[in-house]
Amino acid sequence: MSDMLNHNANPNVEVQYDNEGNVHMVLQRDVQAGDELYKTYGQPTNPSRYFATFGFFDASPPATYCKLFPELEATQELRNLGFGYDRMVFYVRDGAISEEVWDVMLYLMLANDPGSQQQFYQAHMNGDSDTKGQFHQYYLAQTVKALL
């Protein structure tokens, strides 16, 4: 039965399995009689998986995953900066870039200056938005160039 559900980035059903292998479809919000039930086929910000696995491109999510770093090892510092499929995104509606993309890109660019890299990282970890903002402003042109 759950194989018959269509995908939606904003599903109204979650498919769950119990210890005996039974499938349970749990509503995530109220639905009306006759409404179609949807589940998500996976991570909505990573549309390549949908195309490769299911043969379609899901254009409904509000954002898509930034794929600038496919070979990058996710160290603890990078994860702390927001490196992850669900946070490193480009927003579809207005083309905005998530703060996590800017932070990870700048952190990687600062690798040639370990002192500055560590100062930027500590500002992030301590919630020091002023210092972090100064770094972003100073390196804005280089960061934009790296993103293009």
Highest mean pLDDT (candidates 11-15, 26-30, 87-91): 26-30
Q: Is the pLDDT assigned to residue 114 strictly greater than 70?
A: yes
CA-wise closest residue to 15 among 7, 31, 27, 6: 27
Q: What's the pLDDT band for 129 if we cut at 50, 70, 90? A: very high
- Kindly report, residue by residue over 61-97, the tens digit of the pLDDT: 667 777 777 677 889 999 999 888 778 888 877 778 8
Residues 6+ apart with CB under 8 A from 108: 69, 72
Q: Which two tokens stand for residue 145?
A: 């160039």
Residue whose structure tokens are 């480009």 = 90
pLDDT for res 1: 59
Whole-model pTM: value is 0.63
- Other CB atoms within a 10 A radius of the CB of residue 100 amount to 18
DSSP labels, 91-110? ETTT--B-HHHHHHHHHHHG
Report helix, strand or coil for 65: strand
